[in-house]
Chain A
């Protein structure tokens, strides 16, 4: 050391100060208040309202929208809040299986603070058929955390959102229109809503009531010609008038619609940041069905579970009634993140895993089909708090 550090005139005073640090801290710790430590903190309480996690929800009312669509009004255990456009997963035990599906919330965020939330469900598959035919007022369900990125993002999105809805894909936009009415969000929303016939339009009356200087709705019927409605599909001719200004396109509907609309949008050369698509659940795959054996470790337990080669691993786990996490069912949210010990698999669609997940062998069971017997470590489903 080329120099001697000295702060005070005499170096030993610096040494003395050094020696006092411990007694000084000891004294400060002893001087702390003896009143009880807080059991909760405001930030953490608010975090719990924004992200309640799993909670119970009692079915309060069933409303018939169309021949194949109903809206289910629930009363939740806790008040919560969400962003218009988000979904929740709805879970129930059906015929011995633990089943859940994600549904876009069709009510306003405001009502969730009063423990009210609505989901609009079209009868298409196993879960929705149960809801349609069996669910009754008073039944208790498990509701997941509000999730997803299909929301208006003011720092990124244009001031005008062009919402393209197909069939029951109207639900997130219906919630977004209500949020504009309730002055939660501030942007212009034009909804272009495609359905087969007038009778298939969900929330027609409600949407007409929500029309304002900020909310516009255009109905497009593919199988019916009627005054006051556009006819056909959502083509570039229908889209063109809106493309003169900066718009963010948000689309929600079946895959067939995405394919069609994406083509129609091509001529407008929108950058990726201007188009948002709500992901659809991964479906079964086609092909000769084989049955594989899954060895599944959950917590301290190990289970042997049969799995169909045509269904995702998540479906096999649910059929075996194992309480496993599931949220987006589209491979994107990572909620079902599980460790693969051994086995071969195929991922449906784009691989949305993190880089290190590939390196260390993790999969998302919700979008993965088994191609052999497999061994997995799956985290248990979170407890209800």
Chain B
């Protein structure tokens, strides 16, 4: 029987980083991935003259060499930074809500952002400045917490990061109100909410402020060769460090010890058993406890059932036979909403008919030669806040998916005045079924467990050690302690990988 110090299940963003961290920590590591490509959502695909990005809109917290973000530093530590070429996204976003007659284009850079907001909303400056001051304190408090591996000294927290602690238990909307931010400024500043997928009544201020601050302060990045470049760079690094990778291979069982219920091994889909005492699962606890493990304790069943799936994904990819100027597509990044009230918009996203929100990207606005001269590439994403695609039958599937894609095109043309429909050369549509197929996520969820008020970033981070219940089993990716999104998934892999290195030292191989 083959024996490894650690097995990583799933080569998504979290799993890839975890594998590198394990190898750097001296652990003999095996990475198994069900799909034939590494990366999970971080991949690309070809259609005709186009190579489409599968999921990444913009990477948060990377930053250029003269303004490195935490992800940049992490990539340098992992030894992958020099394997990837990056480009910077030009502007932060354009948010359009025709019902509210709102159309705002926001720049990167904290000062520029505040100035622009003041132009749109005179009198917003003071509250905006407070927002970014508070957000910066959140970042510093998180940096301190990470530097002491989550064991923060509450005296130091209260003394040095008082505002963080005082604001830390509130939702985004509660803090917006406390800052007396004008309504229109709140509406514009709320635009990013769909990147995290919980309404701003539910989402913790700390989580949102942390993301917005990092985007605006450092700008956003994307790799030149789509996110497939990141995934292959990570694989390259894993091989350099002597790690083993099995693609087209599904882990079908986690073997546990009858003595303490801890990890004893993994069974692969060809029946082969791998002996290991340590697993990093880059997949849903729902799958691990519901399918991969026998003899799961009631405590785990309860705590898994208690959690709520976040958004189920839908993306339309278009390859267009005209350049962005000709099409009238002016921006890189659009948020198109029916209402900027995230609570109401969230409710509307619970049905296929009612959901018309979209986050849309034109890749050529950051990377003009992403596709041949005289063409453009766009992708349009939305989320479903309920399991409504579960009711779509195989026979109706094509009709429903085209119905949604059609609505997306119409809305984009109406809200922006662009003309894209007559220029579609390639079209590809990913639904919750597509995400279920490639990544095996339950219900086609792409955002892990929702950032509900009680299950938000702060309590998850604070309970990281407490949540380690099965000996040798840790999680990475959107379902874990850093929640979803590219940078969060990388950090979760970093944390779980390093913690497992510690487990191996403490608990033995």
Chain A residues within CB distance 8 Å of chain B: 1-7, 11, 14-15, 17-18, 20-22, 24-26, 28-39, 41-44, 46-51, 81, 83, 113, 149, 153-156, 184, 271-273, 299-300, 325, 332, 334-335, 337, 352-357, 359-360, 362, 379-383, 385
Contacts and interface: CB of A to CB of B under 8 A. Distances in A.
Given A1-B133, A50-B437, A156 B424 contact: yes
Given A21-B458, A47-B437, A184-B395, 9 more contacts: A5-B130, A21-B454, A44-B436, A46-B433, A47-B434, A83-B398, A272-B321, A334-B37, A357-B232
A34 B301 CA distance: 6
B163 A5 contact: yes
A6 B233 contact: no
A335 B36 contact: yes
Q: Which 7 A-B pairs have the closest CB atoms?
A: A32-B306, A37-B290, A42-B390, A32-B302, A29-B303, A273-B425, A14-B166
B149 interface: no
Contacts of A14: 165-167, 169-170
Contact of B226 (A6, A34, A356): A356
A49 B395 CA distance: 10
Q: Which of B244, B301, B428 has the largest count of A CB atoms less than 10 A from its CB?
A: B301
B373 to A, nearest CB: 13
B74 interface: no
A353 B299 CA distance: 47
A264 to B, nearest CB: 22
B474 to A, nearest CB: 17
Interface string B156-169: 00100011011111
A31 B304 CA distance: 10
A84 to B, nearest CB: 10
A354 B133 CA distance: 43
B228 A29 contact: no
Contact of A359 (B232, B270, B458): B232
Contact of A354 (B46, B130, B405): B46
Contact of B170 (A7, A39, A48, A184): A7
A271 B247 CA distance: 39
Contacts of A33: 301-302, 305-306
Contact of B270 (A22, A37, A44, A383): A383
Interface string B58-71: 00000000000000
8 contacts: A14-B170, A41-B387, A47-B437, A155-B405, A332-B46, A334-B37, A337-B37, A356-B231
Nearest to B289: A37
Contacts of B228: 354-357
A50 B435 CA distance: 12
Contacts of A38: 286, 290, 442
B436 A356 contact: no
Interface stretch (B20-28, B47-55, B213-221, B357-365): B47-55
A156 B321 CA distance: 12
Contact of A15 (B130, B158, B409): B158
Given A21-B462, A28-B455, A356-B225, A383 B389 contact: no
A381 B248 CA distance: 7
Contacts of B158: 15
B395 A43 contact: no
Given A37-B301, A46-B393, A32 B248 contact: no
Interface in B384-440: 387, 389-395, 397-398, 402, 405-406, 409, 421, 423-428, 432-434, 436-437, 440
Contacts of A383: 250, 269-270
B394 A113 contact: yes
B2 interface: yes
Contacts of A83: 398
Contacts of A1: 133, 137, 162-163
B229 interface: yes
A31 B395 contact: no
Contacts of A352: 46
B232 A356 contact: yes
Given A272-B321, A352-B46, A22 B463 contact: yes
B283 interface: no
Contacts of A380: 246-249, 270
Contact of B174 (A7, A24, A353): A7
Q: Which of A48, A83, A354 has the largest count of B CB atoms less than 10 A from its CB?
A: A354
A114 B15 CA distance: 39
B468 interface: no
B232 A362 contact: yes
B291 A49 contact: no
B502 interface: no
